[in-house]
Amino acid sequence: MKKFIAILLVLLIVVSLAACSQKAPENTQASTQAEKPVFKIGAIPDQEASELQKHMEGVATYLTEKTGFQVEFVPSVDYAALVTAFERGEIQLVWFGGLTGVQARNVVPRAEAIAQRPRDAEFESVFIAQKDLGLTKLEDLKGKTFVFGSESSTSGHLMPRYFLMEAGIDPVKDFNGQPNFSGSHDKTIKMVESGAFEAGALNISVWEKSVNEGKVDLSKVDVFYTTPQYYDYNWTINNVDETYGEGTKETVKEALLSMGSGQEDVLNFFQTDKFVETKNEYYGAIETVAKQLGIIK
């Protein structure tokens, strides 16, 4: 009888150990998932900070739900700081302008532009001026005070500067004093509207949004020139598969491309109804212009 009880105890111990060993992989997997770093996203600070924060946090919430990662928005003080953070791997996904996207992908091998708005394939900048000046063409800017957006902005500096030079205007020599940099498109509008500068350049979507929301006094400032079209904004993703697991890049890409019903508030902020696929090579012209102007070596 004692021998039977001893055998029974041994069998119970074996069964218990087997049960524990079956649960171990599940616990290990949960632990591994919990230990994955936060997936951080960013955006160039080209609009009013509180609005950008609110809607980028909306993107973070959506991506958390769609991907299963813990996603957080990290604000940036300026364009250059955002590119540096992306280069260091501190931010995994960024809403870049065309130029900052090119700069970021130049310093991060295998980084990819994965999504854009349909309108970003045919983007434009606008030149605005104090209305009583009566400007009608770029050549009329000679001798005027002028403000760009951020120095690293595609639509607020790079492409406007290119089109100025195409019109025979050297921003260094032909304006009344050196051109200024406002830092963001909404500030450019206000600087021209207030009379601090006679004219400026910014991206067309911010202009249209500001007008539609009644934030521009059209009796004081208006558009006098719209540029030809070019590629601009995009979502660029870092080398995330190495840290977050194989297929992460595609998972995030599909999540962005799937934004629709339920995310209208965020999409309205981006002035679109969806994001579409894009590729690095679409921004080759921006890189060429940036090299011509000495902005990229």
Query: pLDDT digit string (tens) for 145-186?
Result: 999 999 989 999 999 999 999 999 999 999 999 999 999 999
Residue with structure tokens 């760009």?
148
Residue 289 has pLDDT above 60, yes or no: yes
Name the phi and psi angles at 125, rounded to 5.
-110, 155
DSSP assigned state of 134: -
pLDDT tens digit sequence for 63-72: 999 999 999 9
Contact 286, 155 (CB under 8 A): no
From the number of C-beta atoms within 10 Å of its C-beta (0-12, 13-18, 19+), residue 158 rates as: buried
Residue 4 has pLDDT above 50, yes or no: no
| Token pair of 91 as six digits | 């931010």
Name the phi and psi angles at 187, rounded to 5.
-70, -35
Residue with structure tokens 């200024």?
180
Of 192, 108, 178, 181, which is closest to residue 151 (Cα–Cα)?
A: 181
Residue 26 has pLDDT above 60, yes or no: no
pLDDT tens digit sequence for 102-140: 999 999 989 999 999 999 999 999 999 999 999 999 999
The per-residue b/e assignment along 34-47, b for 16 or more CB within 10 angstroms, e otherwise, is eeeeebbbbbbbbb
pTM for this predicted structure:
0.77
- State residue 12's pLDDT score: 44
pLDDT tens digit sequence for 201-229: 999 999 999 999 999 999 999 999 999 99
Residue 56 has pLDDT above 80, yes or no: yes
- State residue 8's pLDDT score: 42
Q: Which residue has the higher pLDDT, 21 or 136?
A: 136
Q: Given pLDDT bands bounded at 50, 70 and 90, which one contains residue 294?
A: confident
Residues with Cβ within 8 Å of residue 10, at least 6 apart in sequence:
none
- State residue 292's pLDDT score: 87
Listed by start position, the domains of the chain span: 34-121+231-292, 124-226
CATH architecture, domain 124-226: 3-Layer(aba) Sandwich (3.40)
Work out the average pLDDT over 233-249. 96
Query: Domain 34-121+231-292 has what CATH class?
Result: alpha beta
Of 142, 145, 126, which is closest to residue 189 (Cα–Cα)?
A: 126
